Amino acid sequence: MPQNQIFDLLLRNARLRGGQTLQDIAVRQGRIAAIGPALAGTAVVEEDAGGRLVLPGLVDTHIHLDKSCLLCRCRDASGGLKGAIAAVSRLKRDFTIEDVYERGARTLERAITQGTMHMRTHVELDPLVGLRSFEAMKRLKRDYAFAIDLSICVFPQEGMTHDPAVERLLTQALAEGADLLGGCPYTDADPSLHMERIFALAVAHDVDLDFHLDFDLDPSWSHLEEICRRTMAAGWQGRVAVGHATKLAAIDDAALGRVIALLADAGVGVTALPTTDLYLNGRDANHRAPRGVAPVHRLAEGGVAVSVATNNVLNPFTPFGDGSLMRMGNLYANLMHLGPESFGDCLDMISNGAARLMRITDYGIAVGGQADLIVLDADDEAEAFGGIAAPLMGFKRGRKSFVRPAATLLR
């Protein structure tokens, strides 16, 4: 490389996944211009990773910013999934744009400083809340664009076929900037009609789909096959994902093999949501409760696009959470008895694989790719994942977007 090369950023001494030699990463105009050891040239900003592991910005494919941080308003919510839906439903009519924005911003900032740089937030639309939560999400998307790409998925949490106003709200949101559409058939009085109308809207507006689906442990019925069938009929292969799909944790090996083949053929991705799925499933079994989390690593082996994501933070659905996808991936590995030989696959579920599910282009640490980078407080991939290493700094499109100084002992 000529000595007179000038870059916007030079990140020195980065350890990349699968590499032994430390690399420098050069960035120009928000994209990676060069990668190599001891790159020549100068930069407006130069940082030293100090031999630490550098990853592409993490990808959260499924979160609910609009109903995060509600614990102070409904600490007594109980009754599993139905109880959580009812608790939030009682609160929604009083949501304001400012309230949703403030709570969403708190959660978003936590996620950003934990290394997340791409996020799909699901937003409830219905006559109770109208478009207020959606308006707040649009503001968050604009105000935090310096640090994260926020994709807005509008969906009817409490069904849509019972009230024509729900479909009108979804249509209006799609016309006013929603990025994609979601569905929740299991809460609708007519699940099949629900799916039919959601697919029709998606095709009419040319948007991707992301369903809440099969969220229980009863293997006697499922909506997954119908989703796959409708996906292929619409020609929407690669553009449909489902979240939860916890029924997959309750079927036998032969049935799981058939489902994996069906999902792969239909190009339908699956997201596991460990904290919520653990917290809400299997309550009737008391201390014998099953894990209740979809085995998405098995799906990935069959060619299905998969991810592990956050879902809910500090609300009746999940009264936990700090926005850390590293912690979420680590929890998934614990649940599935996955050791160090599988840590790389689990990292993919919050990075490369998650980006594939969301159809993010130019993702990853490669020349020409978008310069979204995080530096972890670890110099080894297995230790970083196993130890839930904290990110020390992040660069969004080559610009430093957050810092988290390493803890220091004062002896």
Q: What is the DSSP string of 185-208?
A: GGGSSSHHHHHHHHHHHHHHHT--
Q: How large is the average pLDDT for residues 171-191?
A: 97
Long-range contacts of 168-172, Cβ-Cβ distance < 8 Å, separation of 24 or more: 169/125, 169/126, 169/127, 169/130, 169/131, 170/125, 170/201, 171/201, 171/205, 172/131
Burial class of residue 322 (count of CB atoms within 10 Å of its CB; 0-12, 13-18, 19+): middle
Class of domain 6-56+364-403: mainly beta
Indicate the domain borders of the chain.
Answer: 6-56+364-403, 58-358
6-56+364-403 and 58-358 have identical folds: no
CATH of 58-358, one of 3.20.20.140, 1.10.150.650, 3.40.50.2300, 3.40.50.360: 3.20.20.140
Render pLDDT for 105-135 as a digit per residue (tens, 0 to 9).
Answer: 999 999 999 999 999 999 999 999 999 999 9
- How far apart CA 396 and CA 119 sit, in angstroms, is 13
Provide, rounded to the nearest whole percent, the portion of the chain with pLDDT above 90. 93
Render pLDDT for 23-79 as a digit per residue (tens, 0 to 9).
Answer: 999 999 999 999 999 999 999 999 999 999 999 999 999 999 999 999 888 766 666
Residue 294's Cα: distance from chain center in Å? Answer: 15
Entry pTM: 0.97
